[in-house]
Amino acid sequence: HLDRIAEVDESVHAFLHVDAEGALAAARAVDGALDSGAAPVSSLAGVPLALKDVLTTRGIPTTCGSRTLEGWIPPYDATVTRRLREAGLPILGKTNMDEFAMGSSTENSAFGPTRNPWDHSRVPGGSGGGSSASLAAFEAPLAIGTDTGGSIRQPGAVTGTVGVKPTYGGVSRYGLVAFSSSLDQAGPCARTVLDAALLHEVIAGYDPMDSTSINAAVPPVVAAAREGLRGDLTGIKVGVVKELGGEGYQAGVQRSFEAAVEQLRALGAEVVEVSCPNFGYALPAYYLIAPSECSSNLARFDAMRYGLRVSDDGSRSAEEVMSLTREAGFGPEVKRRIMLGTYALSSGYYDAYYGSAQKVRTLIRRDFDAAFERVDVLVSPTTPTTAFKIGERVDDPLAMYLSDICSIPSNLAGNAAMSVPSGLSDSDGLPVGLQIMAPALADDRLYRVGAAYE
């Protein structure tokens, strides 16, 4: 994989940092233990992996795609990182992303975009475009992403790979640099559903270091994936979300989705249409809640504690140093979000904006609750279009935000969701994703249905 990275990453740019030495040392440690007769520490011991640059890695730079953190070497591992190391997975390096995970194309990375391995003139999705592109370019067999509004699933869809957003609280957020704490969730990216399940099992589980971590058994995702691979969905009830799809969706994406629904039926599933009337409000609610939380979370980048500090020659006040540093360190999208969030949270507007968005969030959760009384899983396209051209949406934030119209409801409700490859669009020959959604703590259903379908 290191050879493959050396061969293709100059053009793909999936990685911000490659840790060849660390990866080889971890691989040799696994070999050494096996040679001395020890049992493997996990089913993935020795399998290398690419890690999104938003998770802290002790001794390895962590930038979140931002100038603000350029050169910062964390003194501690995220819980996800620690579990990967303990399970013997060599970390190949850190993957490119939209700055602080804000975006749908990786074009908001301060270090230049990642290119889609299927077509280098197109984006690999975002914010975790680097992780998904590393899989599609065969630079890594497994990767970790994070999903606040779709950043694992949408890149998965447009690169023809698998991406899973676990139930909120299922994977520890300790050491995941916060964008929107009530939505952020790390999860597995892989080329097959079973691979994703094996990785899910390594990273998931209760962590006292994260106050929102769920203290419950990890859903049996590997067993479910194996069950799914038998290709029988008899007894499974699938709901097609009426509000996600149709007008505004690329014709090839829509046709791929309809074919996917037919295939689920052929596998034995019972398919019904389900209405989730409040899903239409998910995007506006998200773009109040996520920027509000981001404006608070990113206040910690104050030029005093981390990374970048400009105009530090003693001639300026602390306040000036802070503001000049934030001006220089943050890109335009991050600034837009901080301003939106600060405005939405300001006194007099709080109830009208943030308060209303939270109420909408409850209505969306109720839509899911009602739907899951009738069906086991819900399905939709993962994203309305295939990979778009680099540059096409950079000047149009609303068009960029629409990439996540299908993925955001699951983040707002905290339930589990997966994107699984669904063939190529007959509009343009590019990969399409099928989104599968399951209730909180029923992540195993995603794997059962996803493995049967893929």
Please give the positions annotated as active site: 52, 127, 151
Q: Which two tokens stand for residue 53?
A: 């640059």
Residue 105: cis peptide before it, omega within 30 degrees of 0: no
CA distance 263 to 118: 25
Neighbours of 36 (CB within 10 A): 7
Q: Which two tokens stand for residue 390?
A: 């680099």
CA distance 70 to 111: 10
Q: Which of 93, 103, 433, 439 binds ligand GLN (CB under 6 A)?
A: 103
| Residue 433 touches ligand GLN, criterion: CB under 6 A | no
| Residue 46 touches ligand GLN, criterion: CB under 6 A | no
The C-alpha angle 390, 56, 164, rounded to 5 degrees, equals 60
Binding mask 161-200 for ligand GLN (x = CB under 6 A): ------------------x---------------------
Size of the site for ligand GLN (CB under 6 A): 13
| Residue 290 touches ligand GLN, criterion: CB under 6 A | yes
Q: Which of 129, 150, 245, 329 binds ligand GLN (CB under 6 A)?
A: 150
Q: Which of 53, 99, 293, 404 binds ligand GLN (CB under 6 A)?
A: 404
| Residue 148 touches ligand GLN, criterion: CB under 6 A | yes
| Residue 147 touches ligand GLN, criterion: CB under 6 A | yes
Task: CB nearer to ligand GLN: give 164 or 233.
Answer: 164
Task: CB nearer to ligand GLN: give 54 or 198.
Answer: 54
CA distance 304 to 322: 8
CA distance 74 to 175: 9
Measure Cα distances from 242 to 72, 95, 245, 277 in Å.
Answer: 46, 35, 7, 9
Q: Which of 124, 149, 175, 414 binds ligand GLN (CB under 6 A)?
A: 149
Task: CB nearer to ligand GLN: give 108 or 325.
Answer: 108
Q: What is the DSSP letter of 185?
A: -
Phi, psi of 239 (to 5 degrees): -105, 130
Q: Which two tokens stand for residue 3?
A: 């050879």
Instruction: Report 194-253 residues binding ligand GLN (CB under 6 A).
Output: none
Task: CB nearer to ligand GLN: give 178 or 203.
Answer: 178
Stretch that binds ligand GLN, among 147-155, 189-197, 265-273, 444-452 (CB under 6 A): 147-155
Neighbours of 71 (CB within 10 A): 9
List interacting residues with ligand GLN (CB under 6 A).
101-104, 127, 147-151, 179, 290, 404
